[in-house]
């Protein structure tokens, strides 16, 4: 085993006075494994470190992580960012006629691999001080599929198009209206054709800084599809999109792959399964290193990801399996009513929401589904007391805890201080540590300032804060946003466990079918005309609610034989036709 040592960004030498150098037993022999680097922070020498692990347990800020890397991967290091910097091992290879998927957690090198494959960065094979030239890279990779691909890239024979991960930054790098941006990349189609393809007709002459997240995502996808490229990279194309839009984008990307090379990074496993042909799993340690496993057929890749064990490589990258129930469990004892509401309406100038009478039971977790701009968030705000209905009322004696869709941190302090200020007694309990902090991986965030958290980190903190408040009902609006696949499933299990063990109710709005399948007892279904009028129906039992919803989407689901996870049937397939004839859109058997 080779010992790789990483000194994390939240090392605070001013507070600990660099005492970490005293933890190393080599100090007694006059050799120090810890030195002060040019940045003023301690840097651990990989050559001198013996991997004793003492520093990891002694460091008060959890700034040091020691990782064992398989010896055989020494020869497959593709890129490294400086001393103790992030490493990436192996790279995927795009193939014409196939959608190549990349599946793995955040901070593991997926986006880095796209930069290397597009030629934006050149692999240094770990020699970051004297990086090789492109010619030296090709010589080293000679005779491999990756070498053949990069030869064309470096020769300018492969044009690439990238749909970036963070579409919310688009207004900062491009000014003007949507039409202006699309006109700059109009090669395969005109701006108006692209607008019609991505349902952007209503916003094509609107400034970019006035678009919603979903609209920005569709603009970015349209701009990528308009380019006449040889290889297309789509980095998280489903973010901000509802299930209708996700299915449509998946079909467009599949159509593109018939004549082009396409690589997709995606965290929505249902869409990933539907979209990709083969997939590369990436495992390792967040912010430390990432290793690309050998490609697998997409079904096998996802099942392997859920199992947490790479049989061919003999590597376990997760302690426990992730399993789905054949039929979402529902406690037959859930009969006591927490909240009954009559017909309600919320009438805005350009949009009207109508809510049919319904009941929320004690201990019930309700999933909420429907397209964007249909009133789901408005309904949640009505229950939370943020938005007053224009017709009807909500029982305000029911205490609620609300996690909004868009999280804007206004707390000036660390995550630890935020938890302490929210509910000190609950934060110090063993229940919080075992049922919330551990599965959401919060401990390493405690010393970070709330305003400096990434989107995924902020989402996990927001979920934990919501669940930490004392309430009868917990309202979570799009809790899977910014989370990777594993984090989404852990968050879903966390919400469900907390509701079951504390006997509380939850209402969860989300677009990820896997997330909703794991967390929900019943479903509310929203329909109508997006942006004009919405109708809220339910709650229904899972089967009835999902059948109603999926019929509107025009997709059917089956259960995977090995994992019981939902899988989208291929449109027009025998199983798809049979389930539609029976009216069973929500997995009929395995």
Mean pLDDT across the chain, nearest whole number? 86
Summarize the confidence of residues 351-358 as an average pLDDT.
Answer: 94
CA 23 remoteness from chain centre: 37
What's the CATH number for 2-69? 3.30.70.20
- Is 226 within 8 Å of 189 (Cβ atoms)? yes
Cβ-count burial 172-198 (b if 16+ within 10 Å, e if not): eeeeebbbebbeebbeebebeebbebb
Lowest mean pLDDT among 126-130, 131-135, 327-331, 463-467: 327-331
The whole-number average pLDDT for the span 309-315 is 82
Residue 14: the pLDDT is: 53
* Opening angle at CA 533, ends 532 and 538, nearest 5: 155
For residue 63, the model assigns a pLDDT of 65
Instruction: Convert the pLDDT of each residue in 39-63 to its tens digit.
Output: 555 666 666 666 666 676 666 656 6
Banded model confidence at residue 564, pLDDT cuts 50, 70, 90 = confident
The stretch 511-534 carries a mean pLDDT of 92
Predicted confidence band at 2 (pLDDT cuts at 50, 70, 90)? very low
The arithmetic mean of pLDDT across residues 105-109, rounded, is: 89
Provide the pLDDT for residue 3: 46
Distance CA 260, CA 234 (A): 13
pLDDT at 71 over 60: no
According to CATH, the topology of domain 86-298 is Rossmann fold (3.40.50)
Please give the pLDDT value at position 24: 53
CA distance 49 to 32: 8
- Structural contact between residues 7 and 34, judged by C-beta atoms closer than 8 angstroms: no
- Least confident among 1-5, 86-90, 171-175, 378-382: 1-5
Over range 100-116, report the average pLDDT.
92
Question: What is the pLDDT, as a whole number, of residue 73?
Answer: 59
Distance CA(507)–CA(393), nearest Å, equals 18
The C-alpha atoms of residue 422 and residue 468 are separated, in whole angstroms, by 8
Task: Give the pLDDT mean for 288-295.
Answer: 91
pLDDT value at residue 356: 94
Q: Is residue 347 predicted with pLDDT exceeding 60? A: yes
Q: From CA 314, how far away is CA 304, in angstroms rounded? A: 12
Question: Which CB contacts under 8 angstroms, 24+ apart, belong to 314-320?
Answer: 315/70, 315/283, 317/283, 317/284, 318/486
Instruction: Name which residue leads in pLDDT, 164 or 52.
Output: 164
Q: Are 268 and 489 in contact (CB under 8 A)?
A: no
pLDDT tier for residue 367 given thresholds of 50, 70 and 90: very high
Q: Phi and psi of 589, rounded to 5°?
A: 75, -165
**Are the folds of 86-298 and 339-541 the same?**
yes
Q: Where are the chain's structural domains? A: 2-69, 86-298, 339-541, 554-590
Q: Compute the average pLDDT of residues 155-174.
A: 89
With residues binned 3-state (H G I as helix, E B as strand, rest as coil), the percentages for the chain, rounded to 5, are 35, 20, 40
- pLDDT, average across residues 53-78: 63
Torsion sign over Cα 466, 471, 477, 479: positive
CB atoms near residue 414 (< 10 Å): 17
User: Helix axis angle, 243-257 relative to 213-226, nearest 10°?
Assistant: 10
Alpha helices by DSSP H, 481-557: 485-502, 513-519, 542-553
Q: Which of 165-174, 233-242, 346-355, 421-430 has the lowest mean pLDDT?
A: 165-174
Q: Regarding predicted confidence, which is higher, 316 or 390? A: 390
For the stretch 282-300, what's the b/e string if a residue is b when 16 or more beta carbons lie within 10 angstroms of its beta carbon? bbbbbbbbbbbbebbebbe
How far apart are the C-alpha atoms of 397 and 300, rounded to whole Å? 49
Which range has the worst mean pLDDT, 26-30, 283-287, 400-404, 495-499?
Answer: 26-30
Candidates 273, 250, 271; CA nearest to 262 is 250
Local structure of 509: helix, strand or coil: strand
Given a cut of 70, is residue 399 above it in pLDDT? yes
Confidence label for 561 from pLDDT (cuts 50, 70 and 90): confident
Question: How far is 431 from 158, CA to CA, in rounded Å?
Answer: 54
Would you state the pLDDT for residue 30? Answer: 45
Examine the pLDDT at 357 and tell me if it is beyond 80: yes
Number of neighbouring beta carbons within 10 Å of residue 61? 16
Q: Determine the average pLDDT of the residues in 550-572.
A: 90
Total-model pTM: 0.82
Mean pLDDT score, 290-295: 93
Q: Which CATH superfamily is domain 339-541 in?
A: P-loop containing nucleotide triphosphate hydrolases (3.40.50.300)
Whether the Cβ atoms of residue 482 and residue 488 lie closer than 8 Å to each other: no
Cα gap 110→345, rounded to integer Å: 45
Write the secondary structure of 17-55 as one string of H (helix), E (strand) and C (coil): CCHHHHCCHHHHHCCCCEEECCCCCEEECCCCCCCCCHH
Q: Is the peptide bond before 539 cis (omega within 30 degrees of 0)?
A: yes
Helix, strand or coil for residue 359?
Answer: strand
């Amino acid at each position: 085993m080779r010992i790789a040592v990483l000194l994390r960004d939240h090392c605070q030498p001013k507070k600990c006075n660099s005492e970490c150098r005293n933890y190393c037993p080599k100090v007694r022999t006059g050799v120090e494994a810890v030195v002060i680097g040019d940045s003023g922070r301690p840097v651990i020498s990989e050559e001198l470190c013996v991997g004793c692990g003492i520093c990891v347990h002694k460091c008060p800020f959890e700034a040091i992580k020691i990782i064992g890397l398989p010896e055989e991967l020494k020869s497959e290091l593709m890129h490294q960012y400086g001393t103790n910097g992030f490493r990436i091992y192996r790279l995927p290879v795009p193939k014409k006629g196939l959608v190549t998927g990349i599946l793995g957690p955040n901070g593991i090198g997926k986006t880095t691999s796209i930069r290397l494959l597009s030629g934006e960065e050149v692999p240094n094979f770990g020699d970051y001080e004297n990086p090789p030239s492109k010619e030296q890279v090709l010589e080293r990779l000679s005779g491999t599929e990756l070498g053949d691909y990069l030869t064309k890239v470096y020769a300018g024979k492969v044009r690439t198009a990238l749909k970036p991960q963070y579409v919310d930054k688009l207004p900062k790098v491009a000014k003007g209206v949507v039409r202006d941006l699309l006109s700059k990349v109009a090669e395969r189609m005109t701006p108006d054709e692209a607008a019609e393809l991505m349902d952007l007709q209503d916003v094509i002459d609107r400034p970019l800084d006035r678009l919603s997240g979903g609209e920005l995502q569709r603009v970015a996808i349209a701009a990528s599809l308009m380019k006449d490229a040889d290889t297309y990279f789509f980095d998280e194309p489903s973010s901000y999109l509802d299930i209708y839009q996700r299915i449509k984008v998946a079909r467009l990307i599949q159509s593109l792959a018939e004549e082009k090379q396409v690589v997709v990074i995606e965290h929505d496993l249902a869409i990933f399964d539907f979209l990709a042909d083969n997939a590369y799993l990436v495992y390792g340690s967040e912010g430390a290193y990432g290793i690309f496993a050998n490609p697998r057929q997409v079904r096998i890749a996802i099942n392997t990801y859920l199992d947490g064990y790479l049989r061919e490589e003999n590597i376990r990258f997760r302690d426990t399996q992730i399993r789905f129930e054949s039929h979402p469990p529902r406690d037959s004892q859930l009969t006591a009513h927490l909240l009954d509401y009559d017909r309600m309406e919320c009438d805005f100038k350009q949009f009207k929401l109508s809510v049919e009478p319904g009941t929320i039971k004690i201990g019930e977790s309700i999933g909420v589904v429907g397209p964007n701009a249909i009133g789901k968030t408005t309904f949640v705000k009505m229950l939370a007391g943020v938005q007053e209905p224009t017709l009807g009322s909500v029982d305000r004696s029911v205490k609620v805890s609300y996690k909004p869709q868009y999280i804007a941190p206004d707390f000036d302090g660390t995550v630890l201080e935020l938890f302490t200020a929210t509910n000190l007694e609950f934060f110090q309990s063993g229940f919080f540590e075992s049922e919330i902090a551990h599965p959401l991986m919060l401990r390493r965030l405690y010393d970070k300032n709330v305003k400096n958290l990434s989107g995924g980190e902020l989402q996990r903190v927001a979920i934990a804060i919501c669940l930490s408040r004392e309430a009868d009902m917990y309202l979570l609006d799009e809790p899977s946003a910014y989370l990777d696949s594993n984090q989404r499933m852990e968050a879903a299990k966390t919400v469900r466990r907390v509701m079951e063990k504390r006997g509380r109710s939850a209402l969860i709005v989300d677009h990820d079918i896997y997330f909703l399948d794991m967390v929900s007892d019943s479903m509310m279904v929203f329909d109508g005309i997006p942006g004009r009028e919405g109708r809220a129906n339910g709650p229904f039992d899972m089967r009835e609610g999902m059948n109603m919803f999926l019929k509107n989407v025009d997709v059917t689901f089956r259960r995977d034989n090995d994992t019981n996870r939902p899988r989208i049937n291929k449109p027009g397939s025998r199983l798809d036709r049979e389930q539609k004839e029976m009216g069973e859109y929500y997995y009929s058997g395995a």
